[in-house]
Structure 1
Amino acid sequence: MSALSGKSVVVTGAGSGLGAAYAHHAASLGANIVVNDIDVGRAEQTAAAIRQAGGSALAHAGDVARWETAQALVDRCTAEFGTLSGFVANAGVLYHGRILDWNERDLRQMFEVNLLGTAACASAAAKAMLAQGTGGSIVTVTSGSQAGTTALGGYGATKAAVAALTYSWAMELAGTGVRINAISPLAETAMAAQHKAHLAVRPPDHEIPSDILPSPQVSAPVISYLLSDQARGIHGQVVRIAGRQLSFVSHPTIADPVLEGEWTFDAVIDAFERYLRHRQHKLGLSYAGPSESGRSKQEGFGTGPHPLRGQS
């Protein structure tokens, strides 16, 4: 029996790119797929390709920025396949803008699709899974941009908010059988191409290269794993997949040193000058491993050239 046999999964933004790769891979492992995209033609194209490959899929077009779309997707999945086993809230949009040149339209659309759309989908999915009493897996999508990237502050803010919601929802769902995790993927997609075109007209502002990206199919097995029963016990995590690198992204933590004292103005000055000024943290996504190279201590794990690095 395949790893996802008998499971029914909704994937939003699955008309192309990463979402389509997630849908195809989950279907290849036996899942029934509801393919969502705002573009009805693309949604139907992905669903048809899955069926032609011997899988089970149907298309349901809709804009996740509209709150009612999430419930419609859940209802369609349960009506057609009898259950909702997994929900991948992948749909998202990206606009560039620096602090001095943002406009309300672009910011509002990113927050409505990336944040409110994810919130609506996760909420509707959790309610359905809890009502079924059989558990389930919800996967949200965040990004390395949550740590800061020039001209992606708005996009990164939406993805940081998704991560924060995922942490909180994981606490709320603990012990219910409904799991929720986030993925922070890196892939060659239309969105990535848009960002690379932007990078081409300005100097790089970080050391992590983003000119060579893996295909969307590289991330797909991670999604399928998180949807599967093999991932029981994986809950409340942000999983990063970047080329040949697989890792967790650490939750926000309080960093050393933690100074004790009575914090008068003079004491604060002394603390910063003596202990904190030279311990400022790097901007942007960085590695917290044993060395600056970011290489794991598990040097023998995996084969091939040095892993790709980058921000999604």
Structure 2
Amino acid sequence: MSALSGRAIVITGAGSGLGAAYARHAASLGASVVVNDIDADKAEETAAAIRHAGGSALAHAGDVSRWETAQVLTNLCTTTFGALSGFVANAGILRHGRITDINERDLRRMFELNLLGTTACARAAAKAMLAQGAGGSIVTVTSGSQAGDVGLGGYGATKAAVAALTYSWAMELCGTGVRINAVSPLAETAMAARNKAHLADQQAKREIQYDVLPDPDVSAPVISYLLSDRSSDIHGQVVRIAGRQLSFVSHPMIADPILDGEWTFETVIEAFEKHLRHRQHKLGLSYAVHSGS
């Protein structure tokens, strides 16, 4: 039996790019898939490709930034395929804007789709899975830009918020049988193409460099794994998928305290001069442990 046989999964933003790759791969492992996209033709194209390959898929056109769309998707999955086993909240957009030129319209749209849309989807999926009593797996999508990136402050903020929500939701769902994890994928997509004009400036200010972006299909097996029973003990994690590198992204942590207890202005100065000044964290995405160390 295939790893996802009998599973019914919703994947948003699955008309192209990473979402389409996730949908095709999950279907190839036996899952029935609701393929959502704001573009009806693209959603149907992905669903048709799955059916042509012998899989089961239904297209749905809708904007997940509209709160009610998430409930429509969960209802559609349960009525069509009998259950909701997995939900991948993949839909998102990227708009550039440095601190001096970011605009309200772009920022609001990113928050509406990347953050509110993801929240609505995770909420509806969790409620449906808990009501079914058979568990399930929810996957959200964050980004390395949550650590900061030139021109991507607004986008990174939405993705950092998704990570924070995922940590909290994982705590709330502990022991219920419903799991939630986030992925931080890197791939050659239309979104990545729009960012290429900014890439040189971004890479000059961070430790990690990516010269070649992988095909979206490279990321797909990781999502299928997270949707399967083989990952039943993986919960509340951010999984980084960067080319052929697979890793966890560390959760925010508090470094060892330098001062503990009461202090004065002078002791604060001393703490920064002797210790904290030399322990400043790197800007942008970096490695927790360097190769060879």
TM-score (structure 1 length as normaliser): 0.91
Counterpart for residue 77 of structure 1 = 77
Counterpart for residue 286 of structure 1 = 286
Q: What SS does the corresponding residue of 2:275 show, helix, strand or coil?
A: helix
CA drift at 1:275: 1.0
CA offsets per residue over residues 147-178 of structure 1, 9 Å max, x none? 00010000000000000000000000000000
Q: Identity over the aligned pairs, expressed in percent?
A: 78
CA drift at 1:210: 2.9
**Alignment pair present for 1:222 and 2:218:** no
* Equivalent-residue separation in structure 1 for 2:5 and 2:258 (angstroms): 49
Which moved further from structure 2: 203-212 or 11-20?
A: 203-212
Q: Is the 8 A contact 1:186 1:241 kept in 2?
A: yes
Give structure 1 regions of 4+ aligned residues with deviation exceeding 4 angstroms: 200-203
**Alignment pair present for 1:256 and 2:232:** no
* Equivalent-residue separation in structure 2 for 1:201 and 1:250 (angstroms): 25
Counterpart for residue 112 of structure 1 = 112
Q: Is the 8 A contact 2:207 2:284 kept in 1?
A: no
The 3 A distance-change label for structure 1 pair 34 and 273 is same
The 3 A distance-change label for structure 1 pair 70 and 222 is same
Structure 2: tracts of 5 or more residues without a match: none
Q: Is the 8 A contact 2:125 2:138 kept in 1?
A: yes
Which moved further from structure 2: 82-91 or 188-197?
A: 188-197
Counterpart for residue 195 of structure 1 = 195
Instruction: Give the aligned length.
Output: 293
* Equivalent-residue separation in structure 1 for 2:210 and 2:192 (angstroms): 9
* Equivalent-residue separation in structure 1 for 2:200 and 2:232 (angstroms): 42
Q: Is the 8 A contact 1:143 1:185 kept in 2?
A: yes
Counterpart for residue 13 of structure 1 = 13
* Equivalent-residue separation in structure 2 for 1:195 and 1:178 (angstroms): 35
Counterpart for residue 271 of structure 1 = 271
Q: Is the 8 A contact 1:145 1:156 kept in 2?
A: yes
* Equivalent-residue separation in structure 1 for 2:74 and 2:221 (angstroms): 23
* Equivalent-residue separation in structure 2 for 1:112 and 1:203 (angstroms): 28
Q: Is the 8 A contact 1:196 1:211 kept in 2?
A: no
Q: What SS does the corresponding residue of 1:35 show, helix, strand or coil?
A: strand
* Equivalent-residue separation in structure 1 for 2:118 and 2:262 (angstroms): 43
Counterpart for residue 235 of structure 2 = 235
TM-score (structure 2 length as normaliser): 0.97
Counterpart for residue 141 of structure 1 = 141
CA drift at 1:265: 1.3
Counterpart for residue 173 of structure 2 = 173
Instruction: Tell me how large the CA RMSD over aligned residues is.
Output: 1.4
CA drift at 1:211: 3.1
Counterpart for residue 27 of structure 2 = 27
